[in-house]
Structure 1
Amino acid sequence: MYDNENHLQWGLCVIFTYFEIQTTAINSVRQKVRYAEDEDNPQLLSFWLMAEQTLFTASDINVSEDARWQLYQGQFRLLLDAICDNLLSEHWRQLCLDNIYRPLTDLNRISQCEASKKRLRHLWLELNITSQYFHC
């Protein structure tokens, strides 16, 4: 069953389709971040971002610029989804907004060619426009 276009739900497990790596543990943390299931734990965001990076570098996936781009863009999308979700508490959405720069900074660091820099500018523009509609 589809939760929305970016998440598949199988029973109680949510699979986030922006990410190549899918494990029960990381999807559980992604779900907690996306749906503010542990909203009184602001360290959850730092833990999640660090866990994603650790899982990514420890995996057998080719650590190419494209693979890194997909990881950081997935992090951006998940945080943006949380920011735009008016059903989540305002303080959680603000916390996500305060941390969305982290994957964007990582994308900036790995963007070498003009095409990737253009994609990054598009993400910044998307964040700028979207955040105007969803005030935290």
Structure 2
Amino acid sequence: MHKYPQNRQNLLSPKRSLDIIETRIRGGIEHNNPPLVNIYLLQIADLAAAKTASSARFVIASRAFQLLYDTIADESVEVHWRVLCLDKINLPLQLMKKSCHGTRLQQQYRHLQYKLTLLYIKSYFLLNNPD
């Protein structure tokens, strides 16, 4: 028996495109379905692996990063869902790092790391100084 039987059955069906999964993740629509993020990230990794150009792999990974980043930053999304996305954001970062061939991609990668660091610091500050 699956841990999340009510949501598990249709996750891998062809009708659930990446756009649908991204919408569900971004809005926290299935916030009680943590495997959804894992399935999405596996699909992103497979899609990136199928590309031969490093810039194409970088774009795919940065799309996933931006989705998770936006979800983490959105205070209207359930906290536990945002924390899950924060836990999983390293996969797209790793994919981007592997695809950083060239100065422009390296600069974009460092910029996204910087944005994530600022978000983390802001979140930490807000949690520890509620005034």
3-state SS of the aligned residue for 2:29?
coil
- Structure 1 stretches of 4+ with a deviation exceeding 6 A read none
Alignment identity in percent?
Answer: 26
Structure 1 residue 54 displacement after superposition: 3.4
Structure 2 stretches of 5 or more lacking a match? 1-14
Query: What SS class does the counterpart of residue 86 from structure 1 fall into?
Result: coil
In 2, the alpha carbon distance for the partners of 1:114 and 1:55 equals 23
Is 2:47 the partner of 1:47? no
Amino acid across the alignment from 2:70: D
Query: Equivalents in 2 of 1:56, 1:105: separation in Å?
Result: 12
Q: Structure 2 CA distance, aligned partners of 1:63 and 1:33?
A: 27
For the pair shown, the structure with the greater C-alpha radius of gyration is: 2
Contact 1:83/1:134 (8 A) holds in 2: no
Partners of 1:106 and 1:26 in 2: CA distance:
17
Render the CA deviation track for 1:59-98: whole Å, top value 9, x for unaligned.
Answer: xxx6311111110000010001100110011100000011
1:132 partnered with 2:124: no
With normalisation by structure 2, the TM-score equals: 0.74
Q: Does the 8 A contact of 1:86 with 1:134 survive in 2?
A: no
- Structure with bigger helix share is 2
Number of paired residues? 111
**2: distance between equivalents of 1:27 and 1:41?**
17
2:21 touches 2:40 (CA, 8 Å); kept in 1?
A: yes
CA-based RMSD of the aligned residues comes to 2.1
For 1:1-136, list aligned pairs within 5 A.
25-55=17-47, 63-134=52-123
